[in-house]
Structure formats: C-alpha cells, structure tokens
Structure 1
Amino acid sequence: MSEARTIPSFLRGRSELGVCALLLAVGVLVLTDALTMDTVASVRGPVGPRTVPLVVGGALLLVAVLLAVDVLRGGRGEAEGGEDVDLTEPGDWRTVALLAGVFLAFAALIEPLGFPLAGALLFWGSAYALGSRQHALTRDPLIAAGLSLVTYVVFDTLLGVPLPGGPLMEVI
C-alpha cells in the first residue's frame, strides 16, 4: 500500500487554500458575532460598536475569496527569504510549548489574581520563553511588573476598559 495519507491531486501544491479556509471561518465568526451583538442605546454618532467588527469581518471574507481565486489561478506564495532564518532547521517546539503554557496560565490566573499580577507573570514568562536568561531573576520581573501596571492603568482608568484588579488592587 502506498502512503496512508494521500493528498488529492487537485489540492497538491495548494496549501494556501487552508489559509483561505481559516480566514473564511474567522470572517464568518466575526460577522456572526457582530450581527448578534447587543447594541448600547446611548451610541453617539454614526459609528456604533458593530462598525469595526463588521468592517473587519467583511475584509476577512474578501481577502479569503481573493486569495482563493489567486491560488486556484496558479498563484503561489514566495518561500521564506529571511536572512536570519535557516529553513533547514526544525521548529523550536520547546519555545512554542513554553509560550503556550504561559498564555494558558495567564488565562487561568487573570480572574483570581487580577490583571496586574497575571499580566506580570505573562510578560515575565514570555521574556523567559523567548530567551531572556541573563537578568531573568532581577531585571525582567521588574520590567514585567511595571509594564503590567502601566497597561492596567491605561486600560482601566484612561480608556475605561474594566480589567480585573484582583487582590492587589483591593489593597491599593
């Protein structure tokens, strides 16, 4: 028997169609959410809370269709030509796993710890996962805490986007 997984000849060499399907799915999801969104009665001006999601969802659908047409007509994406990328090397799955773990931990900890603490862990863990080792226990946590606090204040106070403060904000 030949290969267990055979690719139909029509799809061979057209992996970009997978990107088209992903863009199409995300576009439909964004448009569905925008159209079923409860609107706020006190909207001022012509631009409401649905405007940006409708534009983004429509743009995603348009790009998905245009990319699919281009691929089906024989268009191909260029291979990576980055000067600092060695295409023969395998992916760094350890870094990907560390980053995924940091993001999942952030999602799990944002409610009980609040954004300032969970955000600091997110920024510090991301820096560590991406290779910061020299000052990992001194400089990086301080920068992460400062960045997280500034982000919290900007979003919660200046922009009016409520973020969970957690126990740290109850003390302050």
Structure 2
Amino acid sequence: MTSPATPVVRDRAELGFAALLGVAGAVVVLDALRIQAAYSQSDPVGPRTMPLVVGALLVVCAGVLAVDVWRGGHGAAEGGEDVDLGHPTEWRTVVPLVAVFVAHVLLVDRLGWVVSGTLLFWGSVWALGSRHPVRDGVVSLLLSLGTFYGFYVGLGIYLPAGVLEGIL
C-alpha cells in the first residue's frame, strides 16, 4: 500500500515516451561521438558540437519528464480543434499514407526526386480524400520540381535526378 505522499503512476505511456526520448538522445550522442573530423583554427567548434548538444538536451528532457511523471505530473489531454479523440483510427487513410511514404523511400534513389516526390505528393492528397487526380497531379509535379530546384539552386543541395538525369 502506498502512502498519501507517494504518487501513483497510473498511465505509464508518459514514462514510455520519456524512455524513448532518452534512448533517442543516447543514440544521437553515441553517433556524434563516432564523427571523425579534424579540428582547425578556422573551425574550432567542429561537426560534433551540435549533435552532442541536441543529444544531451534530449537526455536531460527525458530525465526531467520521467521525474515529473513519477511525482504525479501528467500532460494535459489534447483538446483538439475539431478532432473527436474518442473516434477510432481511420485505417483507410493511415494505410495508404504509410504505403506512399514507404514507396517514396524505396523509389527516390531509382526514380529520382521529381518522379518519386510527385508520387508522394499526389498519393498523399489522394489518401487524404482529394478526388481531382489531374489537378492534384499538376500541383504535385510543380511542388516536386519547385523543391528540386529550390534545393539545388537555392541551397546547393543535390537531390537525385534518377530517370530524368539527362533532362534536369
């Protein structure tokens, strides 16, 4: 039997989240420690610093959350805007969305960003209920081309061209 001063942890989901947050932080820290880079006078901070800071902050946040939950604290229930939290998951939307994301991950290197990004955007809006395939396809293609050239020209980041290698 617990004393009145000892809080009872009823919902362990928040402890699970704290554990997941701590594991993610530990993975980031361990991965950052494996970065092999020489430090120089022009760059005394080096590439390890940010991942180490982020990983350490994740671990600290996980610890603070775990202590708060053990002391009886809990997150406020999501009020939602127009979401009925008692309503079950709409699997007819979730499964196609997951399939589109998995297909994108598997196809982006082979087909290239423009083709796989177009499929990603078009498949996402279709899974979310839009039934205007031509308009959605055109908008998806424009979004994909815009992000491709935005990353390449604007940021200098190369995205794979895939099957459109000679065209783009």
User: Shorter-chain TM-score: which interval?
Assistant: 0.7 to 0.9
Gaps of 5+ in 1: 1-9
1:132-147 mapped onto 2 (5 Å cutoff): 132-133=130-131, 135=132, 137-147=133-143
CA-based RMSD of the aligned residues comes to: 2.1
Shifted more, 68-77 versus 138-147: the winner is 138-147
**How many angstroms does 1:44 deviate by?**
4.5
The equivalent of 1:162 in structure 2 is 158
Of the candidates 60, 63, 66, which is equivalent to residue 68 of structure 1?
Answer: 66
CA 50–71 in structure 1, closer or farther in 2 if over 3 Å, else same: same
Cα distance per residue 1:15-41 (max 9 Å; x no partner): 200100110111111111111123377
**How many angstroms does 1:66 deviate by?**
0.6
**How many angstroms does 1:149 deviate by?**
1.2
Distance (whole Å) between structure 2 residues aligned to residue 40 and residue 121 of structure 1:
41
The equivalent of 1:15 in structure 2 is 13
The equivalent of 2:37 in structure 1 is 39
Gaps of 5+ in 2: 1-7
1:47-58 mapped onto 2 (5 Å cutoff): 47-58=45-56
Amino acid at match of 2:86: T
Cα distance per residue 1:124-172 (max 9 Å; x no partner): 1111112222x2x111111111111111112233322222111213223
**How many angstroms does 1:98 deviate by?**
1.0
Amino acid at match of 1:86: D
What is the aligned residue count? Answer: 161
SS in 1 for 2:165: helix
1:106-117 mapped onto 2 (5 Å cutoff): 106-117=104-115
Percent identity (aligned): 52
After TM superposition, the score normalised by the length of structure 1 is 0.84
The equivalent of 2:5 in structure 1 is none
Amino acid at match of 1:72: W
Distance (whole Å) between structure 1 residues aligned to residue 38 and residue 166 of structure 2:
29
**How many angstroms does 1:46 deviate by?**
4.2
Distance (whole Å) between structure 2 residues aligned to residue 83 and residue 106 of structure 1:
30
